[in-house]
């Protein structure tokens, strides 16, 4: 009989983390009379045995709040924990997973619920292989996780980015400018694609379709010929040029800072301005996409995921991830989810729809 579980949130921020936590805690109380502990700051708190007991009181009024009441951390893999540097100055890593397991046992935790992205789910699976009962809840604002139709936080991020386009639209029009918005998405262009369509972008550049600057220039000149002396460009941070893409790509690989200076947005803006003679401006939304009160879709999705995670935690089997599949919450092996990135298919109906309404996807199609 499962009556004590723990939950932690790992990796980057995404709107809706609190909704999952709340869903877990409320289901535990209402349905199983079970206790829920929360480890602080992701796996770091698990290693350091820092936790809080969660109840109706301290999870009240959190559904509409961004962030996570449990805190999170990015570099805290218990199987490869940073442990100082060696004589040559190289970072050393040690395996502290046994310490983590010991902490779970000492506290009587029977199941560990991990809310996190690809990295955190990998770690969860490694714990499962060592005999820990784990349940995963997928989290990535980029929406690029296989096994689930849509990740929470994505809808909120897309709406935030769309609002940016709405704001920039009138300025672009009044000043006859090219406005470039650089959005999250290093490997997959979901946010740039969706926000671009929703924001009425004329050009959308995503990692899945290497772009040709000449195509974009033709599109902008065509608009000018129609009397539209402004353009909106949506570009994913991981978008790369078709020809001579080395420079930009190299730049991206180098960067360790998500708010990269002189990223692809600025590169595109500069090239388009030089070629067309129109003024251009680049805006990097950065962390604004990770924050804010979650939209309705994300609040509902996280609630459902939290409920299902708790049910699965009690009823098993474990080493599973909850997922959204065609409108229904379902469960799949964690391993199936973390094997590969979900990319935008350039032949998909939504990309074809963008092309049909005249959006330039950076290529000649």
Question: Considering only residues 182-201, where is the footprint of a copy of itself by CB under 8 A?
Answer: 194-195, 197-198, 200
Residue 252 lies near a copy of itself (rule: CB under 8 A): no
Q: Which residues contact 362 (CB under 8 A, 6 or more apart)?
A: 203, 204, 205, 206, 209, 210, 211, 212, 215, 216, 239, 242
**Rounded to the nearest whole angstrom, what is the least distance from the CB of residue 344 to a copy of itself in the complex?**
13
The binder of a copy of itself chosen from 139, 304, 320, 342 (CB under 8 A): 304
Q: Does 225 bind a copy of itself (CB under 8 A)?
A: no
Q: Name beta bridge partners: 328.
A: 325
Positions annotated as catalytic residues are: 142
Closer to a copy of itself by CB, 61 or 108: give it: 61
Which strand ranges, in their side-by-side order, compose the sheet holding 35-39? Answer: 51-54, 35-39, 4-9, 111-116, 134-138, 320-325, 328-333
Q: Which of 92, 102, 274, 293 binds a copy of itself (CB under 8 A)?
A: 293
Q: How many Cα atoms sit within 13 Å of 247 on the Cβ side?
A: 8
Q: Nearest distance from residue 11's CB to a copy of itself, in Å? A: 10
Q: Which is nearer to a copy of itself, 63 or 213 (CB)?
A: 63
Alpha carbon distance 74, 42 (integer Å): 8
In the chain, the DSSP E strands lie at: 4-9, 35-39, 51-54, 81-85, 91-94, 111-116, 134-138, 177-183, 203-205, 231-236, 279-284, 320-325, 328-333
Residue 73 or 245: the one with the smaller Cβ distance to a copy of itself is 73
Query: Taking CB under 8 A as the rule, does residue 234 contact a copy of itself?
Result: no
Q: Is residue 47 at the binding interface for a copy of itself, with CB under 8 A as the rule?
A: no
Nearer to a copy of itself, 136 or 292 (CB): 292
Query: What's the CA gap between 321 and 141, in Å, rounded?
Result: 17
175 binds a copy of itself (CB under 8 A): yes
Sign of CA dihedral 132, 135, 141, 142: positive
Interacting stretch for a copy of itself, rule CB under 8 A, among 88-96, 102-110, 115-123, 171-179? 171-179
Is residue 348 reached through a cis peptide bond, with omega within 30 degrees of 0 on the bond before it? no
Verify binding: residue 308, a copy of itself, rule CB under 8 A: yes
From 86-94, 113-121, 172-180, 207-215, give the range in contact with a copy of itself by CB under 8 A.
172-180
By CB under 8 A, residue 205 contacts a copy of itself:
no
Which of residues 107, 224, 252, 300 is near a copy of itself by CB under 8 A?
300
CA gap 6, 165 in Å, rounded: 40
């Amino acid at each position: 009989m499962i009556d004590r579980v723990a939950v932690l949130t790992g990796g980057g921020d995404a709107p809706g983390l609190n909704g999952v936590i709340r869903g877990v805690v409320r289901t535990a109380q209402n349905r199983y009379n079970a206790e829920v502990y929360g480890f602080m700051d992701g796996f770091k708190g698990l290693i350091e045995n820092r936790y809080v007991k969660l109840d109706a009181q301290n999870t009240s009024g959190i559904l509409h709040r961004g962030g996570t009441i449990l805190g999170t951390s990015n570099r805290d893999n218990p199987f490869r924990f940073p442990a100082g540097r060696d004589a040559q100055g190289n970072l050393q890593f040690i395996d502290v997973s046994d310490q983590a397991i010991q902490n779970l046992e000492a506290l009587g935790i029977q199941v560990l619920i991990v809310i996190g992205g690809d990295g955190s789910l990998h770690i969860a699976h490694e714990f499962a292989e060592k005999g820990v009962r784990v349940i995963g809840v997928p989290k990535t604002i980029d929406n690029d996780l296989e096994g689930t139709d849509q990740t929470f936080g994505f809808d909120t991020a897309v709406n935030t980015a769309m609002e940016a386009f709405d704001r920039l639209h009138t300025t672009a029009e009044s000043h006859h400018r090219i406005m470039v918005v650089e959005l999250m998405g290093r490997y997959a262009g979901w946010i740039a694609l969706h926000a671009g369509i929703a924001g009425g972008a004329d050009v959308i550049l995503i990692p899945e379709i290497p772009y040709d600057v000449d195509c974009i220039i033709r599109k902008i000149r065509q608009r000018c010929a129609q009397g539209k002396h402004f353009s909106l460009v949506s570009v994913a941070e991981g978008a790369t040029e078709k020809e001579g893409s080395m420079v930009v790509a190299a730049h991206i690989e180098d960067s360790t800072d998500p708010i990269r200076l002189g990223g692809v947005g600025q590169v595109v803006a500069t090239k388009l301005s030089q070629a067309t003679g129109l003024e251009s401006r680049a805006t990097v939304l950065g962390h604004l996409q990770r924050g804010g009160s979650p939209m309705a879709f994300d609040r509902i999705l996280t609630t459902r995921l939290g409920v299902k995670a708790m049910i699965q935690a009690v009823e098993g089997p474990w080493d599973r991830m909850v997922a959204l599949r065609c409108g229904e919450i379902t469960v799949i092996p964690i391993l199936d989810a973390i094997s590969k990135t979900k990319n935008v298919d350039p032949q998909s109906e939504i990309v074809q729809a963008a092309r049909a309404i005249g959006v330039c996807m950076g290529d000649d199609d």
